[in-house]
Amino acid sequence: MEQKVLRLSPSRVNDFTNCPRLYKYRAIENLPEKLSLDAERGKLVHSVLEDLFDLPRSERKESAAIELLPTKWEEHQAEKPEITSAVPDEKEWLDRVKSLLSTYFLLEDPTTFDSTYRELHLERDMSEDVYLHGYVDRLDIAATGEVRIIDYKTGKSPKPGWEEKALFQLRVYALLYWRREGVIPRLLQLLYLGDGKSVKSSPTESQLLATERILTNISQEILTAIETDHFPTKKSRLCDWCSFKEICPAFNKE
């Protein structure tokens, strides 16, 4: 039988490393998942920040972001009508979004720079069997040619010692960009709007090569799991948020 190409992204890699069974339910069986209000709130914040950079520099103020919100919220509801009834209190919901947007302005002043790309799709065939891709929230190229990659997180910053794990996603983007453009980004930055903190890193060539090796190893593990249909469960605190807990053999007898 012809082998299908494995589509990898930082999220799917995280799924597999967090729990192979979760990966199977999500990436192979494409099972439906319950609506996550946290994830939907994150998408709404991202869409406002994306449009903010369409405005002239001098207009990219906190008030402008708040003004964009009603339109973006309407668009969000039109795209996903079930969100309207899932939000228990619309005012509280929008107030939380506003608070996250306000925190963004504590971390950056968007009137002082321009953004080159938003929602940039980067992709690469790692081999005949493996395709790697991802969407970068924002990529800025300075007049000097220096590149920085920004990712907005609507949660809180990682506890000390967990920053490296958090940076993996951006190192994958940096690797994809480097392989495409021949330029290693100067700065990777995670902006945590949940607590107004950021995590920064300047990637080195050896770090990106190490990231590539990790991706190669994980893709081999996934291909083996698919071939043998072996996706063990891995219980963790993430199970409390897992959409598949009700059917997961770790919590139910098969």
Residues that bind ligand SF4 (CB under 6 A): 19, 21-22, 233-235, 238-239, 242, 244-245, 248, 250
Tokens representing 253 are 């007898």
Nearest to 201 by CA among 179, 169, 156: 169
**Helix boundaries (H) for the chain:** 10-18, 20-23, 37-52, 62-79, 82-86, 90-107, 163-181, 205-228
Instruction: Report in angstroms how near the CB of residue 84 gets to ligand SF4 at its nearest.
Output: 28
Q: Which is nearer to ligand SF4, 102 or 233 (CB)?
A: 233
Taking the alpha carbons of 38, 67, 198, 113 in that order, is the dihedral positive or negative? Answer: positive
Nearest to 176 by CA among 117, 115, 119, 126: 126
Q: Which is nearer to ligand SF4, 22 or 27 (CB)?
A: 22
Instruction: Report in angstroms how near the CB of residue 254 gets to ligand SF4 at its nearest.
Output: 12
Instruction: Report in angstroms how near the CB of residue 236 gets to ligand SF4 at its nearest.
Output: 7
Instruction: Report in angstroms how near the CB of residue 21 gets to ligand SF4 at its nearest.
Output: 4
Instruction: Report in angstroms how near the CB of residue 23 gets to ligand SF4 at its nearest.
Output: 9
Q: Which is nearer to ligand SF4, 43 or 245 (CB)?
A: 245
Q: Which is nearer to ligand SF4, 141 or 238 (CB)?
A: 238
Q: Which is nearer to ligand SF4, 98 or 234 (CB)?
A: 234
Instruction: Report in angstroms how near the CB of residue 229 gets to ligand SF4 at its nearest.
Output: 15
Residue 23 and residue 234 in contact, taking contact as beta carbons nearer than 8 Å: no
Q: Which is nearer to ligand SF4, 27 or 87 (CB)?
A: 27
Nearest to 98 by CA among 146, 73, 66: 66
Distance spanning both ends of the chain, measured CA to CA: 29
CB atoms near residue 215 (< 10 Å): 20
